[in-house]
C-alpha cells in the first residue's frame, strides 16, 4: 500500500472524488479479505474497511509525484472469472470488485493518465507508419511467408495461443504497456491466461522474501517459438530499419507478422477452395459462411480449416475489421447457428422419408466388408451431388472411389476398421492423389485415426473423416 504523503493528500483531496463501494480489500499483513468502500481523488485514496458489518479500519495513501513530472496510475489484473476481477493497483494494493466497478476504476485511471495514453497512441501511430516500408520490401515479404510456413500453425490459428503469445511477449520483452494497444487481445483476455507464481526464499531465520514469477498457459510451445523464431525475426527487422528501439522492433515485428499472416492464410484458402465461392465480392458474410458449411470435403468445425477460412474472410473485408479474435467469435456464432439449422433440416428430411427407403446407421457400416464399404461411400457421395466410380479392387493405387463434381475430382480411400487407422492410410492416399491427378484426397473410416496419422494428414493436406464425421453425414443424407 502506498504510504501517506500529507501534502499530496491535501492537494488531491480538493479534486473530484470517485467512490467505489462493494469491493474487497486483501490485507497482506493479516492475509485477510475485508469488504470496503474506496474514494479516489488525484493520486490519493481513502478507504474504509468493515468487519462483521461494522467499520474496521480507515486507511489513506497517496502516490509520490516528482515535481514537474507525470506519474502513471496503473494496475495489474491478477484474475477474472468474467463477473468479478482481482487486481493490484499502484495506490491501495489488492482489490476484488465487480466488472462494473472495474470499468469505473479504469475510466478514472484513464482520466488521470491522459499524458501516458497520448504517448501510447503516438507510439502506435509510429509503428503503423513504418509498416508500409516493410510491405514494400519484396525480399522481406518472401522471407516472412517462409517464416510463417515454418512455425506451428496453431500460433496464428488458435485464439487461446494468440492470447498466450501476446501475454508472453509483454512479459519477456519488458516493454510494459507501451505497445499493448497493438495486440489483438485486451488486458482481461491476457490476464485470463497468466499465472502468478510466488517464490519464497528464506534469506535469514527471521526474514523471508517473496518474488513473483509470471507464466502463461501453453508456455511449453509458445516460449520456444518466441525464443527461437520470433525474437530472431525482431533482430532481422531491426537490421532492416536501423535505427530502431527494442520496443519499437518488438511491436512492429508482431503486427507485421500478423498482417502478413492474413495474406498468407487467405491465399492458402483461396488456392484450395476458390471454386466454391464464385465471385466472393457478391457474398455477404452470412452467405460466405453458409457456402463454407456446404463444402462436403471439409469438417467445418476443424479449428485449422475454420481459422484459415476466417483469415480469407478478413482479407476479403467481410468482417469490416481485421482483428482475428473478434472475427473468430463472430464467425463461430454464425457457424453454430447455421450448423444447428442444418441439423434441424436434416432431422426433418429424415422423418419425412418413406418407410420403404433404406436408412443406414453407423452400426450397419461396422458390419460391412471392405468392398461393401467402398460401394456405400460411392452411394453417399452420389447423394452429395458427385459422380462416383469405384476403382479396380486390385491395383487401386491407394484410392478406392473417385468422386467428381464439375472440375473438382476427389479421391476417397475407404477404411472399414475395428481399430485405429495409422500413417499407412495417409501415405497411400497421397500416392493415389498423385497417381490419378486428383484435386483432393479423403480417408474415410468408421473408426478413429491415430495422432500420428492426423499430423501426417495435416502436413499433406489430406482430409480425414472419422467415425463422428461419417455418422453425421449418414444422418444428414438418410
Same domain, 39 and 129: no
- CA distance linking residue 188 with residue 82, whole number of Å: 9
404 half-sphere exposure, CB direction, 13 A CA radius: 10
Are 142 and 260 contained in the same domain?
yes
Spatial separation of the C-alpha atoms in residues 36 and 292, rounded to whole Å = 53
Q: Are residues 259 and 121 in the same domain?
A: yes
Q: Which of 204, 192, 200, 258 is nearest to 230 (CA)?
A: 258
Q: What is the pLDDT of residue 6?
A: 87
Cell of residue 256, nine digits: 507485421
Contact 152, 174 (CB under 8 A): no
* Structural domain total, the chain: 4
Q: What is the maximum alpha-carbon separation in the chain?
A: 93
**β pairing state of 84-89 and 75-80:** antiparallel
Please report the pLDDT score of residue 171 as a whole number: 85
Same domain membership, residue 471 and residue 370: yes
Co-location of 430 and 346 in the same domain: no
pLDDT of res. 141: 96
What DSSP string runs through 268-285? Answer: HHHHHHGGGTSSGGG--H
> Are 125 and 77 found together in one domain?
no
> Cα separations (Å) of 358 from 5, 243, 353, 445, 477?
85, 73, 9, 21, 11
Whether residues 295 and 211 fall in one domain: no
Boundary-marking domain end, from 243, 266, 289: 266
Residue 348: predicted pLDDT: 74
- Answer yes or no: is 381 within a domain: yes
291 and 184, same structural domain? Answer: no
Is 39 a domain residue? yes
Residue 280 · residue 270 · CB < 8 Å: no
Q: Is residue 272 part of a domain?
A: no
CA distance 232 to 177: 22
Out of 319, 352, 385, pick the residue that ends a domain: 352
Q: Which residue has the cell 473478434?
A: 326
- Phi, psi (5° rounding) for residue 52? 55, 35
Clarify whether residues 321 and 215 are in a common domain.
no
Peptide bond just before 243 cis, omega within 30 deg: yes
Residue 316 is assigned to a structural domain of this protein: yes
CATH number at residue 440: 3.40.1350.10
Q: 95 and 138 in one domain?
A: no
**With contact defined as beta carbons under 8 Å apart, do 374 and 390 qualify?**
yes
Domain extent at residue 306: 277-352
110: cell is 484513464
**What is the reported pLDDT for 356?**
45
Residue at which a domain ends, from 112, 133, 164: 112
Beta strands 93-98 and 463-465, pairing class: unpaired
Whether 1 is in a domain gets the answer: no
What does the pLDDT read at residue 298? 82
Any idea which residue has 509503428 for its cell? Answer: 127
Q: pTM of the entire structure?
A: 0.77
> Is 84 domain-assigned?
yes
Query: What is the rounded CA–CA span in Å between residue 451 and residue 457?
Result: 10
User: What count of other Cβ atoms lies within 10 Å of the Cβ of residue 392?
Assistant: 8
| Tens digits of pLDDT across the chain (478 residues) | 677 778 889 999 999 999 999 999 998 888 899 999 999 999 999 999 999 999 999 999 988 777 667 788 888 888 888 889 999 888 888 999 999 999 999 999 999 999 889 999 999 999 999 999 999 999 999 999 999 999 999 999 999 999 999 999 988 877 667 788 999 999 889 988 888 776 666 666 656 565 667 788 899 999 999 999 999 999 999 999 988 899 999 999 999 999 999 999 999 999 888 878 878 888 999 999 999 988 877 888 889 999 999 999 999 999 999 999 999 999 999 999 998 888 887 777 666 665 445 567 888 899 899 899 999 999 999 988 899 999 876 566 889 999 998 888 999 999 998 889 999 999 999 999 999 999 889 999 999 999 999 999 988 989 999 998 898 888 877 7
27: left (phi over 0), alpha (psi -120 to 50) or beta: beta
- Using DSSP bridges, classify how beta strands 401-405 and 408-415 pair: parallel, antiparallel or unpaired: antiparallel
Written as nine digits, the cell of 273 is 477452395
Same domain (yes/no): 324, 374: no
Please check whether residues 332 and 373 belong to one and the same domain. no
- Rounded to 5°, the CA angle 132-134-137 comes to 110
Q: Nearest Cα to 307, choosing from 144, 156, 466, 185?
A: 156
Does residue 329 form part of some domain?
yes
Q: Distance (Å, rounded) from C-alpha 331 to C-alpha 337?
A: 10
In a domain, 357, yes or no: no
CB < 8 Å & 24+ apart, contacts of 181-187: 181/120, 181/121, 181/124, 182/124, 182/127, 182/251, 182/254, 182/255, 183/254, 184/258, 184/323, 184/324, 184/325, 184/326, 185/325, 187/77
Give residue 419's pLDDT.
86
The conformation of residue 350, written as its DSSP 8-state character, comes to H
d(CA 11, CA 4): 12
Alpha-carbon span 374 to 368, nearest angstrom: 9
Beta-bridge mates of residue 20? 38
Amino acid at each position: 500500500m502506498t504510504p501517506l504523503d500529507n501534502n499530496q493528500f491535501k492537494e488531491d483531496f480538493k479534486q473530484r472524488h470517485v467512490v467505489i463501494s462493494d469491493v474487497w480489500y486483501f490485507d497482506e499483513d493479516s492475509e485477510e479479505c475485508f469488504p470496503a468502500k474506496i474514494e479516489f481523488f488525484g493520486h490519493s485514496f481513502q478507504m474504509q474497511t468493515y468487519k462483521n458489518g461494522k467499520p474496521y479500519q480507515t486507511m489513506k495513501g497517496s502516490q509520490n509525484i516528482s515535481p514537474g513530472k507525470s506519474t502513471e496510475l496503473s494496475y495489474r489484473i491478477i484474475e477474472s472469472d468474467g463477473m468479478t476481477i482481482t487486481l493490484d493497483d499502484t495506490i491501495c494494493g489488492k482489490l476484488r470488485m465487480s466488472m462494473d466497478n472495474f470499468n469505473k476504476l479504469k475510466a478514472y485511471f484513464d482520466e488521470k493518465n491522459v499524458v501516458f495514453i497520448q504517448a501510447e497512441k503516438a507510439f502506435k501511430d509510429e509503428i503503423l507508419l513504418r509498416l508500409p516500408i516493410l510491405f514494400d520490401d519484396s525480399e522481406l515479404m518472401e522471407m516472412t511467408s517462409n517464416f510463417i510456413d515454418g512455425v506451428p500453425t496453431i500460433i496464428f490459428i488458435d485464439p487461446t495461443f494468440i492470447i498466450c503469445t501476446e501475454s508472453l511477449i509483454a512479459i519477456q520483452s519488458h516493454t510494459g504497456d507501451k505497445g499493448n494497444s497493438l495486440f489483438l487481445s485486451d488486458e482481461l483476455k491476457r490476464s485470463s491466461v497468466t499465472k502468478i507464481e510466488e517464490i519464497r526464499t528464506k534469506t535469514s531465520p527471521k526474514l523471508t522474501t517473496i518474488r513473483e514469477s509470471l507464466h502463461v498457459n501453453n508456455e511449453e510451445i509458445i516460449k520456444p517459438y518466441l525464443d527461437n523464431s520470433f525474437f530472431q525475426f525482431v533482430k532481422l527487422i531491426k537490421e532492416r530499419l536501423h535505427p530502431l528501439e527494442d520496443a519499437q522492433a518488438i511491436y512492429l515485428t508482431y503486427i507485421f507478422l500478423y498482417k502478413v499472416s492474413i495474406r498468407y492464410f487467405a491465399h492458402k484458402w483461396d488456392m484450395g477452395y476458390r471454386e466454391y465461392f464464385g465471385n466472393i465480392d457478391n457474398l455477404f458474410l452470412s452467405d460466405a459462411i453458409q457456402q463454407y458449411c456446404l463444402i462436403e470435403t471439409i469438417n467445418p468445425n476443424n479449428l485449422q480449416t475454420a481459422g484459415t477460412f476466417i483469415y480469407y474472410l478478413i482479407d476479403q473485408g467481410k468482417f469490416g475489421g481485421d482483428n482475428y479474435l473478434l472475427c473468430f467469435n463472430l464467425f463461430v456464432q454464425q457457424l453454430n447457428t447455421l450448423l444447428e439449422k442444418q441439423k434441424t433440416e436434416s432431422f426433418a428430411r429424415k422423418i419425412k422419408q418413406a418407410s420403404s427407403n433404406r436408412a443406414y446407421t453407423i452400426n450397419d457400416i461396422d458390419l460391412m466388408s471392405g468392398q461393401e464399404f467402398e460401394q456405400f461411400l460411392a452411394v453417399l457421395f452420389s447423394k452429395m451431388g458427385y459422380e462416383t466410380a469405384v476403382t479396380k479392387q486390385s491395383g487401386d493405387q491407394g484410392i478406392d472411389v473417385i468422386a467428381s463434381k464439375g472440375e473438382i475430382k476427389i479421391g476417397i480411400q475407404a477404411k472399414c476398421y475395428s481399430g485405429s487407422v495409422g500413417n499407412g492410410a495417409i501415405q497411400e492416399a497421397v500416392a493415389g492423389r498423385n497417381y490419378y491427378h486428383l484435386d483432393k484426397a479423403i480417408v474415410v473410416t468408421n473408426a478413429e485415426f491415430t495422432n500420428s496419422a492426423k499430423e501426417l494428414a495435416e502436413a499433406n493436406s489430406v482430409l480425414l473423416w472419422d467415425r463422428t464425421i461419417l455418422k453425421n453425414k449418414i444422418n444428414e443424407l438418410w
